[in-house]
A and B are shown apart, each in its own frame.
Chain A
């Protein structure tokens, strides 16, 4: 089983990490680099005496070192996601549930909800320079939300009684009842149009990548003979 877990997690995670990096360069990086022009003062929101700031993006070129590091860390983080997902998949398989690429897709959706969507509802993916609360407080909320959401989804999927489902709903709701830490003041220099677009794209790319991760994890899991 150890071989199966490691093989599945590494292959699914690494392939997805590379795809995530490509999608990041195509869809996310241009917005991020545009935002940095506001962060470093090259552009000013409501510049030109209040006439507004150009919404057209400038192609800022490649930065080999920065972009290679992004590919590397994308692969590491998605492999980390993959190990967590495969831990869940193998626990379910251990309890007799069948795993296929098809059910892997559902696992991917659940992973997306737990590690991407639920935290994003309190702490939307932010551009560099965005005003935000203390990073340690946000990280505590992030980890707590991921854990509570994962627990809630697990109980919905595998619970068999209304009481279990009630606990599941509570687990899903609690992080949002407590609420994510937010800044006292909004001081971000970046236009909200850009920030909103960035958040939507980061969440969308997250869904695409988690779907691929789930499919691949289900595929490699069912392909690897149990040893």
Chain B
């Protein structure tokens, strides 16, 4: 493998790792908003109630 090809492979690996990090961040964000903002479990709903209204999430 020549140097150019090695650099290309390294760049590709870095890009796919970065894409996984981005997907991870999106997943964490969506998960936090879904659990804290939208799950209807009574304890969660009551605890997050006022913030859900303030952020305009469908609450009741």
By a beta-carbon cutoff of 8 Å, the part of chain A in contact with chain B is 1-2, 5-6, 9, 20-21, 24, 28-29, 32, 66, 69-70, 72-74, 76-77, 79-87, 90-91, 94, 116, 119-120, 123-128, 132, 135, 138-139, 142, 202-203, 205-206
B34 CB → nearest A CB, Å: 8
When chains A and B are docked, how far (Å) is the Cα of A83 from the Cα of B29? 5
Task: Find chain A residues with CB under 8 A from B26 CB.
Answer: 83-84, 87
Q: Is the interface of B mostly helix, strand, loop or mixed?
A: helix
Number of chain B residues whose Cβ lies closer than 8 Å to a Cβ of chain A: 34
Task: Find chain A residues with CB under 8 A from B10 CB.
Answer: none
When chains A and B are docked, how far (Å) is the Cα of A86 from the Cα of B37? 19
B32 CB → nearest A CB, Å: 3
Query: Can you offer 16 A-B residue contacts whose CB atoms are under 8 A?
Result: A5-B21, A29-B50, A66-B50, A73-B47, A74-B54, A76-B32, A77-B48, A77-B51, A79-B32, A80-B37, A83-B25, A83-B26, A87-B23, A119-B56, A132-B58, A135-B40
